[in-house]
Amino acid sequence: MSRGSGKGLSLKDKLDGNELDLSLCDLNEVPVRELAALPKATVLDLSCNNLISLPSDFCSLMHLVKLDLSKNRLQQLPLDFGRLVNLQHLDLLNNRLVTLPVSFAQLKNLKWLDLKDNPLDPVLAKVAGDCLDEKQCKQAAVKVLQHMKAIQSEQDQQRQRKLQAEREMEKKREAEQRAKEALERELRKREKAEEKERRRREYDAQKAAKQEMEKKTKKETVHTQKPASSSRPPQPPRQKPSWSRSVLRVLLFVLFCILCTLAACKLTELQHQPLCVSVNTLYEDVVAALQNHKTLQNMLQHNSHQ
């Protein structure tokens, strides 16, 4: 197999103690799987190859303590490069790096760093400084870590502010949603009340129309009945018979009978009959009594005048 992929190499033959030298192997890719099988190789030299990038699973080689990637064509490091937490020595000389991943700040054990001959961002280049001797390379490691930690902190704060803004926006949306729902409930309640009021007015109108119709029907009935009643001649009200009038009639009838009997006994041949004799006698007694009564009345009147 081709050497460019790193496959076909006998990595064990190149392992010397804990050092694995893969420099000058014309590698285009890093044989991560084979390297992962050699956890003893804590020192890895990949310098002077044709590496343009590192695969993401390269960061699983957490056993690495010293890593030499100098004189390749690396344009960037994996985003999770900070997983190599045991890394103490890192040589990135003469690559094409402009920036470093923010996770670089997690390399808390890094003691030595060389970033020379990279088209670094001016701020990062100024922070890294030169790496011409052991002291400068150690200072570069410290300063770059501090710088990346500051960037990470700033990004964390930005994420926190963004998260806070998103939460506030979410709260605002929820509040607006609640207000919208409350408004919709109020509108539905108002519409329901208006509908109820409309139906009540319709009911009242129907009731009033019904009552008006009943009144009109009654009036028409009265007007229809009046001509029939007016065609009849008025009849005088019937007077209820009174008992005093009946008694008076009886008395008049009795008096008429008495007068007739008296006239018969006085003027006819019946005056010698026993009944007529008694009637005539009674008549004379009554007349005498009336005369006596009249005489007594005259005397009383004469005495009262004296």
Sequence spans of domains, the chain:
12-155, 273-305
Least confident of 14-23, 34-43, 119-128, 233-242: 233-242
**For residue 108, what pLDDT is reported?**
94
Three-state SS at 116: coil
Percent of the chain whose predicted confidence (pLDDT) is above 90: 52
| 240-253 mean pLDDT | 77
User: Is the pLDDT higher at 119 or at 286?
Assistant: 119
**How confident is residue 289, by pLDDT bands cut at 50, 70 and 90?**
confident
**How confident is residue 288, by pLDDT bands cut at 50, 70 and 90?**
confident
Select the CATH number that applies to the domain covering 12-155 from these four: 3.80.10.10, 3.40.50.150, 1.10.8.50, 3.90.25.10.
3.80.10.10
**How confident is residue 9, by pLDDT bands cut at 50, 70 and 90?**
low
Whether residue 173 is predicted with pLDDT greater than 80 in this model: the reply is yes
- How far is the C-alpha of 25 from the C-alpha of 68, rounded, in Å? 14
Whether residue 71 is predicted with pLDDT greater than 90 in this model: the reply is yes
Whether residue 282 is predicted with pLDDT greater than 90 in this model: the reply is no
Least confident of 74-88, 97-111, 194-208, 261-275: 261-275
- How far is the C-alpha of 61 from the C-alpha of 7, rounded, in Å? 17
User: Is the pLDDT higher at 46 or at 169?
Assistant: 46
Task: Show the tokens assigned to 238.
Answer: 């019937």
| 229-251 mean pLDDT | 65
Query: Residues 124, 101: contact at Cβ < 8 Å?
Result: no
**How confident is residue 277, by pLDDT bands cut at 50, 70 and 90?**
confident
Element (H, E) at 114: strand 112-114
Q: Which amino acid is at 148?
A: M
Strand pairing partners for 113? 90
Q: Which amino acid is at 11?
A: L
**How confident is residue 2, by pLDDT bands cut at 50, 70 and 90?**
very low
Three-state SS at 113: strand
- How far is the C-alpha of 22 from the C-alpha of 46, rounded, in Å? 5
Least confident of 64-73, 142-151, 236-245, 249-258: 236-245
**How confident is residue 63, by pLDDT bands cut at 50, 70 and 90?**
very high
